Homo-oligomer: A and B are copies of this chain.
Amino acid sequence: MTEFIPPATRWFELPSPFPMKRGGELRGGRLAYESWGRLSPERDNAVLVLTGLSPSAHAASHQDDPEPGWWEPMIGPGKPIDTDRWFVVCINSLGSCRGSSGPASINPETGQPWRLGFPELSVEDGARAALALVRGLGIDQLDTVVGCSMGGMTAIAYMLHGGRARRMLNVCGAAHALPFSIAVRSLQREAIRLDPLWNGGDYSDSVYPESGMRIARKLGVLTYRSAIEWHGRFGRVRLDSELREDDPFGHEFQVESYLEGHARRFIRQFDPNCYLYLSRSMDWFDTAEYAPGGGEGEQAVLRGLARIRLQQALVIGVETDILFPIEQQAQIAEGLRRGGTEVHFASLPSPQGHDAFLVDYPRFCPLIADFMGG
């Protein structure tokens, strides 16, 4: 049950007890974060970055940690999110295993890891924890709240739970989960839970649900990219014969070893219980809950989004994304627009699917630089 905490991490102690949306409360909770740049004397240049399911707070290299971050080309001096101008804060999500409290962290009341004793987690809990941190840093209003993927959900929840921001940058996000994504995540969780070594969440480094995590990660990678990209990248190319297993069901095609490589890098780097918690939190998220007058479905989602007060928003989606399909970003844009926000919606033809925001920098960087510079 290793946590993987980058060296530039700082911690913020959450108010304790911290009530959780689905019941129960968290005692002695904390958030891990990193920051870049300097908060202006007017405290009006803060940019909050909310992540997808698995990244740490290490979004970019740092004076205390020269390792490239998960959004390295996007954040730094002179980059689209320019740390010479902005005070940038990135949070490791509540429930994750990169320093924030979650199933893999120690419950201070018992001295043991929380495991499945961690309270049920919602996207809104992560958003409220982020808001506590922002306020704890003495910031009343963000310049920009930025959310990618799951973080795009968290950014919406942040604004619906008292957060204030002048602008929103919502990247490959969604205002609620749809059944295909729920089904994918459900299957990932099932693969982990069916692994006998998961053992009801009570595993160790030596007895660890590797098989379940392997399936879960490969299924993730299947849905993070697009068929069209793989066709171009891998075609039907075989592995060199010396790399092939002597087994008709062993890895023979490059695409199979690509999945395997991704899985190997992830399996031991992300805690299985944290994966379960964060994954399920996305299924539950539904902006329709915030619609004035109640209701369900698309119209309620739009009415919920229209409650958000911002000056401007940039909403970016990718046409080949099957996990957070482009219709979901169009919906965010429409809902924010109905609330009076000046919205720019960008539908990008990147072939890389949901992962495009992590790799297609030639398309994403100019858009985000324009927005952040405006």
| CB of A30 within 8 Å of the partner chain | no
A185 to chain B, nearest CB (A): 10
Q: What residues of chain B lie closer than 8 Å to A256, measured between beta carbons?
A: 182-183, 186
Is A255 touching B179 in the complex (CB atoms < 8 A)? yes
Q: Which of B180, B233, B286 contacts A227 (CB 8 A)?
A: B180
Which residues of A in the span 268-288 have a Cβ within 8 Å of any Cβ on B?
A: 276, 280, 283, 286
Which residues of A in the span 145-180 have a Cβ within 8 Å of any Cβ on B?
A: 176-180
A331 to chain B, nearest CB (A): 12
| CB of A78 within 8 Å of the partner chain | no
| CB of A296 within 8 Å of the partner chain | yes
Q: What residues of chain B lie closer than 8 Å to A235, measured between beta carbons?
A: 178-179, 296-297
Is B214 touching A255 in the complex (CB atoms < 8 A)? no
| CB of A356 within 8 Å of the partner chain | no
Chain A interface size, as a band, is 35 or more
Q: What residues of chain B lie closer than 8 Å to A211, measured between beta carbons?
A: 194
Give Cα distance in the complex from A176 to B253, angstroms.
13
| CB of A234 within 8 Å of the partner chain | yes
Give Cα distance in the complex from A233 to B325, angstroms.
17
Of A69-77, A215-223, A359-367, the segment with at least 4 beta carbons within 8 Å of chain B is: A215-223
Give Cα distance in the complex from A255 to B249, angstroms.
30
Q: What residues of chain B lie closer than 8 Å to A187, measured between beta carbons?
A: 215, 218-219, 222, 259
Give Cα distance in the complex from A362 to B292, angstroms.
41
| CB of A123 within 8 Å of the partner chain | no
Interface string of A241-257 (1 = CB under 8 A from B): 00000001101111110
Give Cα distance in the complex from A124 to B176, angstroms.
46
A357 to chain B, nearest CB (A): 20
Give Cα distance in the complex from A219 to B218, angstroms.
11
Is B227 touching A215 in the complex (CB atoms < 8 A)? no
Which chain A residues have a beta carbon within 8 Å of chain B's beta carbons? 22, 120, 176-180, 182-184, 186-187, 189-191, 193-194, 196, 211, 214-215, 218-219, 222, 227, 230-231, 233-236, 248-249, 251-256, 259, 276, 280, 283, 286, 296-297, 322, 325
Complex A-B, nearest 8 residue pairs according to Cβ-Cβ distance, in ascending order: A180-B227, A179-B255, A179-B230, A194-B211, A179-B234, A186-B256, A183-B255, A120-B248
13 contacts between A and B (CB under 8 A): A120-B248, A178-B230, A179-B233, A180-B230, A182-B253, A183-B222, A184-B222, A187-B215, A187-B218, A189-B249, A190-B218, A235-B297, A236-B297
